Each structure stands twice: as C-alpha cells, then as structure tokens.
Amino acid sequence: MTLRNPLAVARGLGSAKEGTGHFIAQRLTAVALVPLSIWFIWSALGHFGAGYADARSFVAQPLNASLMAAFVMMLFYHAQLGLQVVLEDYVHGWLELTAQVLVKLACFFAALVSLLAIVRISLGG
C-alpha cells in the first residue's frame, strides 16, 4: 500500500507529448510504402534476368531514381520507428537506450549509403 497520490505516481510515467506524432509518422510511412513497394517489386521483376547495363539505365532515369530514393528513405524511417516501439515495449534500462541509439545510427547510415549508391548510379559514376 502506498500513500502517494495517484497523480504523483503518474507524473514521469505519462505522455512525453510525442506519442501521437510518432503514431502518425508510422502510419504515414506505411501508407507511402504501399505504392512505393508495388513500384519497386514491379521494377525488380521487370528487370529480372536483365543485364547490369539495363538495370543501371533504369535507375539512371530521373523518375526512377527519385522513386527509389523515396522508397529507401521511407523504408528505413519506417523501420526505425517500428524498432523504436518494440525496444520501448520490451527492453528496459541502459540496454534500451543503447539499442535505441544503435538502431537510429544503423538506419541512418543504411539510408545514407543507399541514397549515395542511387545518386552514383543515376549520375553515371
């Protein structure tokens, strides 16, 4: 039995006023990924068995490079948001903070490397 007021117990455990924004961002990236994923799968299957030059010329087209970049950014941001929720729910203590930082860094660098590859291919380098 505790003599603390329920409001005092709830303080520090309540909303950080970011939950709604996180929820909306996760849903918006999921909605954006639907058409981008369909486009990506259609493109990948359309170039299945094609040569390197054909695939490179496909990515070199501005519309395709833009859609590929949007797909990569949405994919890694959505993955980071989802992994953040899983870590917040199931990992606690110092390991949670460490895992959160590692996930954010991994998603950031993976997106950065992917975008640089798209730019390099699209510019013909």
What domains does the chain contain, in order, with CATH numbers? Answer: 17-122 (1.20.1300.10)
Q: How far apart are CA 116 and CA 32, in angstroms?
A: 21
Q: How far apart are CA 64 and CA 10, in angstroms?
A: 50
Q: Across the chain, what does the average pLDDT equal?
A: 89
Which tens digits make up the pLDDT trace of 5-59?
777 666 666 566 677 888 999 999 999 999 999 999 999 999 888 888 888 999 9
Q: Residue 58: its pLDDT value, please?
A: 92
The CA R_g of the chain, rounded to the nearest whole Å, is: 20
User: How far, CA to CA in Å, does 80 sit from each of 31, 75, 77, 86?
Assistant: 16, 9, 5, 10
Secondary structure element (H or E) that encloses residue 85, with its range: helix 62-90
User: How far, CA to CA in Å, does 48 sit from each of 42, 43, 52, 70, 123?
Assistant: 10, 9, 11, 22, 23
Secondary structure element (H or E) that encloses residue 104, with its range: helix 94-122
